[in-house]
Amino acid sequence: MIKINYIKDILKVSSILLILFQLSCAQQKKRENIIVASAGKIESLDPAQANTLRTLQILSALGDTLYKINKQGNLSPRLAKDLPKVSKNGLLIDIPLKENISFHDGSIFNAEAMAFSLNRFRKIGTLNYLLNDKIEGIEVKDEFLIRIKLKKPSSSLKSLLTSVNLTPVSPNSYSNYKDSFNNKNFIGTGPYFLESFNSSQQIIKPFNKYWGEKPKNNGIYFINYSNSSTLFGAIKTKEVDVLISNSIDDIQRLTLNNMVKKDKLNAGEGYPIEIGYITLKSNKLPLENKKIRQALSYTIDRELISQQVSFGTREPLRSIVPPQLHKKEFLSWPKYNPDIARSLLKKEGYCETDILSIPLTFRSNVPADKLLALTWKDQIKRDLSDCIQITLNGVESTTVYKQLSEGAFEAVILDWTGAYPDPEAYLTPLLSCNEIIKNTCLKGEAVFSGSFWGDHKLQELLEKSEELKGEKRLNNLIKVEQLAAQGSAYLPIWLVNPKAWSLKNISQPEFSSNGLIILKNLKRN
Amino acid sequence: MSSKKELFKYIFSRLTLLPIMLWIISSLVFILLRIAPGDPVDAILGNRANEFARESLRIKLGLDKPLIDQYIEYLNQLIHGNLGISLNTQEPVKLIIAKSLPASLELAIFSILLASIVGYLIGFLGAVKPESRIDFSGRIFGIGTYALPPFWAAMVIQIIFAVLLGWLPIGGRLPPGAIPPPQITGFLLLDSIFDRNIEIVFSSIKHLILPSVTLGILLSGIFSRSLRLNLEEVLKKDYIEAAKSRGINESRILVKHALPNTLLPILTITGLTVSSLIGGALLIEITFSWPGIALGLQEAINQRDYPVVQGIVVIISSLVVMISVGIDIAIAYIDPRVSY
């Protein structure tokens, strides 16, 4: 009798649990908003502080930029009414602004608001040196016209105006944040407004008074998971609708790509904006010797590395600027050729008696770096063990960044994503130098990059490119890159395309030229 | 009366050690963080920000002051119960901890409950029937779970039950988009019960199952092994033999005589496991994206967010020290052999 009662009790509890579990499953089916998942928390929504892809992604939906780069690679107005008008001496840029645009707090977007946002960025922005190096001042010429005064002519400034970091914020809502970051809120002009924010989940909803094309969905939930496996599992189990590729391990990228081939998922891919490369410290022997650096540039079998590390998902790269930004096919760095490497090293006294020892540092918290380091080491051991020996050293990324400009690393694996889609956004941060003595950079971006390499001719060309336009400018920047390849202080390895996967009932993700998903175009089929 | 007085004296002496231990721990954390390479200014601004921006932020964060001044200010704030402001988010550290600590405690409590039930049951059965099939399987289970790397076990469990079978959610504390109940205790389950939000109650249980079962099973091995060994030893004691020879029935011997004598080591192990779990379930928290204090600590270390790291370490240390002192006191109270 007692046993039967027990069984009945167990059955009762089990049935209640089952019903409730079913209820919670049914709840998921009613999903109206689109859930977008990626790795990494968002600690700040302030465009002046934003520096992660995830933050820029959400800001691109909450705000608008003055201009965008269209599919043809040209500047196209967004908040601006027309293309910028540059004065004859190239020192004044007038930007007319669109009218009848309002911020999410109801205030009007005008030249005052734009100037406030630009000046705020110049004052507190993380990347403010990008503007401050070029801009003398910003003037409000009319209610809907701003004038940018330049220190010297700058053709790259236009591309800079497409940067999400320069999205305007409402002066009303940011009056208490002129000199400080507003981390938990964002009031812009974008197609979405921020409904709720915490570091692991952000909810954005369509802004009814948006001036442009309205979002095709009812809102986006941004969520984060702390590791690649969970992100991968989340889209496989349909817990999330869209998965952004940052921090997805290569093996899981491959599996997701295979699911796309089997028509189980949609995928969208943007232009590559991230480059992976090795920096060689060129102010100390043996790597001070250009011939040795050049020899090393012949030792990298990029195709093999791409296959071994990423199953071919990372495209081998022989330039330090993503190819689409040059608008033409060209490759500056040499192909893999161990024979040339050996002969160059022999001329410098290696291979016969001496073996060149290179300590290679990789960021221990970046899985692809470690695999790249191991693969290159093994490849050298296979092909050039009589000439080169690579020793590996894993260091956590925060420490690497801190010690880079202190010259702590002979050779270090790094990556770079330009702040805006222009060759200059890659060349200047890696190559620019303010003080050069005998090809050693003492002060400038090349020091922060850890290469300490400078070249007067290259510097001249880099500065000259600011005065040039169009084709001439691009050709000039190609020459810069060719000089950089001859210097061989950087060894480009691969390109990483931004990618996103979506469930079959969600539209294919589309990307902007900044490598960000156009969230308002996502819709449920 | 005198015994009670002695006990209070003992408790007092243990408690006076608490602030000294906390001072040592917090000072060590302060020094070690500053010695470690990496800079919070770099973590916030990136390594390419210009010198002016870097210096301005350094001044704003108080990192320009001499180290000794920073230390004195830190201790002064700590004494007044102020853990500081996060360098990265400008949020009070207290608030950050208040958000993440309950998540870790919730996970720890469920895991310990599960580990205790499973582990002690297996250990008990093994000790009662030594060299039997149950004992053999129990020993394999104990050694196996103890030897399993937590991240691997967590990933396998996640793949099987969340990805392949789809029975349970893959990670997090709530489904994406779910609005959490107003924070009263910070324990999602309790808060959703208080909020009478049945949907969130069951969602939170579903999200809790995988991480707590994984952690619970991994810990149950230690529990089963320790109970089995202690009980086996106790069962060989003379007073058990004497009880048997007096014809007392076996289950009474076990419950009344053997088990109470294994209580002390079990209490110690359980207590220490609880304290290690509060800050130490990092791999489980990472695998299941559980927004607990260990995950928060890891992120804060990566960002060199000194106040958050210091705050979390101080709070975890306080809890660990308090639990240890609590165990000492409980043992002293239960075991008349302990002199105080």
Domain CATH code at residue A201: 3.40.190.10
**Which residue, A307, A344, A357, A244, is CA-closest to A493?**
A307
C-alpha span between B66 and A516 (Å, rounded): 43
CB contact under 8 A, B177 and A221: yes
Chain A nearest C-alpha distance from B2 (Å): 50
Q: What is the pLDDT of residue A3?
A: 58
The answer on A324 and A231 residing in a single domain is no
Q: What is the pLDDT of residue A27?
A: 47
Q: Which of B170, B295, B299, B302 to mutate to test the interface with A (most CBs of A within 10 A)?
A: B170
CB contact under 8 A, A396 and B176: no
Contacts of B303 in chain A (CB under 8 A): 398
Summarize pLDDT for B37-57 with one digit per residue, the tens: 777 777 776 666 666 667 777
The alpha carbon dihedral of B121, B123, B128, B131 has a sign of: positive
Look at A204 and B13; give whichever has higher pLDDT. A204
A59: in domain: no
- CB within 8 Å of chain B, chain A residues 328-357: none
The type of residue at A404 is L
The answer on A228 and A100 residing in a single domain is no
Whether A129 contacts B50, CB under 8 Å: yes
Residue A21, pLDDT above cutoff 60: no
C-alpha span between A514 and A516 (Å, rounded): 5
The answer on A502 and A443 residing in a single domain is no
The answer on A446 and A372 residing in a single domain is yes
Contacts of B166 in chain A (CB under 8 A): 237
Residue of A nearest to B54 (CA): A126
CB contact under 8 A, B44 and A403: no
Residue A439, pLDDT above cutoff 50: yes
C-alpha span between B78 and B73 (Å, rounded): 8
Q: What is the mean pLDDT of chain A?
A: 87
Residues forming beta bridges with residue A37, ordered by sequence position: A223, A243
Q: What is the pLDDT of residue A102?
A: 94
| Secondary structure letter of residue A466 according to DSSP | G
Whether A344 contacts A291, CB under 8 Å: yes
The answer on A279 and A267 residing in a single domain is no
**Which residue, A322, A68, B120, is CA-closest to B128?**
B120
C-alpha span between A157 and A163 (Å, rounded): 10
- Number of Cα atoms under 13 Å in the Cβ half of residue A297: 25
Contacts of A33 in chain B (CB under 8 A): 177
Give helix then strand counts, H and E, for chain B.
Answer: 15, 0
The answer on A463 and A314 residing in a single domain is yes
A183: in domain: no
Joined tokens for residue B215: 């952690």
Q: What is the pLDDT of residue B10?
A: 75
CA quadruple A405, A406, A411, A413: dihedral, nearest 10: -50
Provide the domain count of chain A. Answer: 3
The pLDDT confidence band at residue B20, using thresholds 50, 70 and 90, is confident
Joined tokens for residue A54: 């995830």
For B328-333, what is the mean pLDDT? 78
Q: What is the pLDDT of residue B279?
A: 61
Chain A nearest C-alpha distance from B253 (Å): 27
Residues forming beta bridges with residue A279, ordered by sequence position: A412, A490
Which domain CATH number covers A157? 3.90.76.10
- Cβ neighbours for B290, distance < 8 A, ≥ 6 positions apart: B103, B104, B107, B171, B172, B173, B211, B281, B284
- Cβ neighbours for B230, distance < 8 A, ≥ 6 positions apart: B262, B265, B266
The pLDDT confidence band at residue B184, using thresholds 50, 70 and 90, is confident
Summarize pLDDT for A241-296 with one digit per residue, the tens: 999 877 788 888 889 999 999 999 999 988 888 899 999 998 888 888 989 999 99
CB contact under 8 A, A129 and B155: no
Whole-structure pTM value = 0.81
Q: Which of B47, B56, B201 to mutate to test the interface with A (most CBs of A within 10 A)?
A: B47
Joined tokens for residue B123: 């250990």
Which of A108-122, A232-246, B10-24, B285-299 has the highest average model confidence (pLDDT)? A108-122
Chain A nearest C-alpha distance from B295 (Å): 9
Minimal Cβ distance to B162: which of A28, A41, A233: A233
A417: in domain: yes
Q: What is the pLDDT of residue B237?
A: 84
Minimal Cβ distance to B42: which of A24, A41, A402: A402
A206: in domain: yes
A434 touches chain B (CB under 8 A): no
Which domain CATH number covers A319? 3.10.105.10
**Which residue, B307, B257, B329, B288, is CA-closest to B94?**
B307
Q: How far apart are the first and last CA of chain A?
A: 56
Summarize pLDDT for A41-98 with one digit per residue, the tens: 888 899 988 877 888 899 999 999 999 888 777 888 999 999 999 888 888 999 999 9
For B128-149, what is the mean pLDDT? 85
Task: Give me the helices (H) in A63-214, please.
Answer: 111-124, 129-132, 157-160
The answer on A383 and A511 residing in a single domain is no
CB contact under 8 A, B199 and A23: yes
A3: in domain: no
The DSSP result for A304-318, as a single string, is: HHHHHHHTT-SEE-S
Summarize pLDDT for A299-317 with one digit per residue, the tens: 999 999 999 888 888 899 9
Complex confidence, ipTM = 0.76
Peptide bond preceding A286: is omega within 30 degrees of 0, i.e. cis?
yes
Contacts of A35 in chain B (CB under 8 A): 176-177
Summarize pLDDT for A3-18 with one digit per residue, the tens: 566 666 666 666 665 5
CB contact under 8 A, A20 and B88: no
A126 touches chain B (CB under 8 A): yes
**Which residue, A423, A442, A417, A415, is CA-closest to A480?**
A423
Minimal Cβ distance to A230: which of B48, B50, B287: B287
CB contact under 8 A, A132 and B295: no
Residue B90 vs residues A181, A320, A344, A349: alpha-carbon distances, Å:
9, 36, 54, 56
- Taking phi over 0 as left and psi of -120 to 50 as alpha, with beta for the rest, B172 belongs to left
Residues forming beta bridges with residue A220, ordered by sequence position: A34, A204
Residue of B nearest to A196 (CA): B179
CB contact under 8 A, A41 and B295: no
Residue A151 vs residues A138, A217, A466: alpha-carbon distances, Å:
11, 44, 11
The answer on A296 and A249 residing in a single domain is no
Q: Which domain holds residue A514?
A: 34-40+190-271+498-521
The answer on A403 and A309 residing in a single domain is yes
CB contact under 8 A, B155 and A239: no
Residue A206, pLDDT above cutoff 90: yes
For A415-422, what is the mean pLDDT? 84
C-alpha span between A203 and B177 (Å, rounded): 8
**Which residue matches tokens 């998942």?**
A37
A1: in domain: no
C-alpha span between B136 and A83 (Å, rounded): 80
A172 touches chain B (CB under 8 A): no
Whether A134 contacts A141, CB under 8 Å: no
The answer on A491 and A344 residing in a single domain is yes
Minimal Cβ distance to A226: which of B38, B46, B295: B295
The answer on A124 and A91 residing in a single domain is yes
CB contact under 8 A, A401 and B176: no
A22: in domain: no
For A127-132, what is the mean pLDDT? 78
Rg for chain A, CA atoms, rounded: 26
Host H or E run for residue A196: strand A192-198
Contacts of A399 in chain B (CB under 8 A): 36-38
Q: What is the pLDDT of residue B337?
A: 67
The answer on A474 and A335 residing in a single domain is yes
Whether A273 contacts A417, CB under 8 Å: yes
- Cβ neighbours for A245, distance < 8 A, ≥ 6 positions apart: A253, A497, A498, A499, A500, A501
A18: in domain: no
Residue of B nearest to A203 (CA): B177
Q: What is the pLDDT of residue A494?
A: 93
Residue A386, pLDDT above cutoff 70: yes
